[in-house]
């Protein structure tokens, strides 16, 4: 019999050997107000920073308290905050990036 190889596709979650959900870190590259703009902004950022293609990107829908909805474009997943900060400095050439962590 073949083993079931389905994987749950939830990039912001990671389970350890003890089935404890651990955090993953992401660099927030941008935030756009329309879901259709996510790919447009990603392509624009790739032109500026071609090295972004070394990592996967994802986006997360965020509903603000004022009722507005934004889509955060996230680069990652990084195992540690330090790893994400080093990518920010070395590839994006920035001293400070917006780092997000999700379980």
Q: What is d(CA 87, CA 34) in angstroms, rounded to the nearest whole number?
A: 27
Q: Which domains does the chain have, with CATH numbers?
A: 21-102 (3.30.70)
**Does residue 75 have a pLDDT over 60?**
yes
Instruction: Kindly report the pTM of this predicted structure.
Output: 0.75
Cα gap 22→74, rounded to integer Å: 18
User: What's the pLDDT tens digit per position in 11-70?
Assistant: 444 444 555 667 899 999 999 999 999 999 999 999 999 999 999 999 999 999 999 999
């Amino acid at each position: 019999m073949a083993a079931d190889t389905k994987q749950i596709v939830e990039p912001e979650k990671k389970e350890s050997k003890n089935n404890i959900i651990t955090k993953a870190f992401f660099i927030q590259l941008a935030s756009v107000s329309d879901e259709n703009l996510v790919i447009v902004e990603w392509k624009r950022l790739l032109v500026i920073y071609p090295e972004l293609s070394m990592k996967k990107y994802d986006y997360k829908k965020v509903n603000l308290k004022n009722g507005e909805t934004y889509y955060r474009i996230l680069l990652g997943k990084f195992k540690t905050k330090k790893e994400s900060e080093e990518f920010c400095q070395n590839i994006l050439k920035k001293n400070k990036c917006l780092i997000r962590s999700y379980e």
